[in-house]
Amino acid sequence: MKTYQERKESKKCFVLLKNKDVLGVFGSLKSVCDYMGSRLPSYWTLVRKKTNKYEFKDNDYTIHVVKPMFTP
């Protein structure tokens, strides 16, 4: 079982961009896929990738995985 500190350190946010314009910040990759619908590959396809940046050349969308800068 992870401690609170370990969970806080492993937390990440997903920033959705289109042509360098921020469309939103999400807490999970699933919520990004639900928001975008069929314009992105499926959630199960993206989960298998082990990267901090997802780029989609055909429709100019990018998802960056970042650590939150705030501490509650």
Q: Does the residue 38 lie in any domain?
A: yes
The answer to the question of residue 44 being in a domain is yes
Residue 71 within any structural domain of the chain: no
As for how many domains the chain has, the answer is: 1
Per-residue pLDDT, 71 = 56
Structural domain contains residue 33: yes
Average pLDDT over residues 20-30: 92
pTM for this prediction: 0.78
Helix (H, G, I), strand (E, B) or coil at 67: coil
- What SS3 state is found at 28? coil
Residue 30 placed within a domain: yes
Instruction: Write out the residue range of the structural domain in which residue 40 sits.
Output: 4-66
Cβ–Cβ under 8 Å, residues 64 and 21:
no
Measured CA to CA, the distance from residue 2 to residue 27 in angstroms comes to 19
pLDDT bracket for residue 54 (50, 70, 90) = confident
Kindly state whether residue 72 falls inside one of the protein's structural domains: no
| Average pLDDT estimate for 22-36 | 92
The band of 70, judged by pLDDT with boundaries at 50, 70 and 90, is low
Tell whether 13 is covered by a domain.
yes
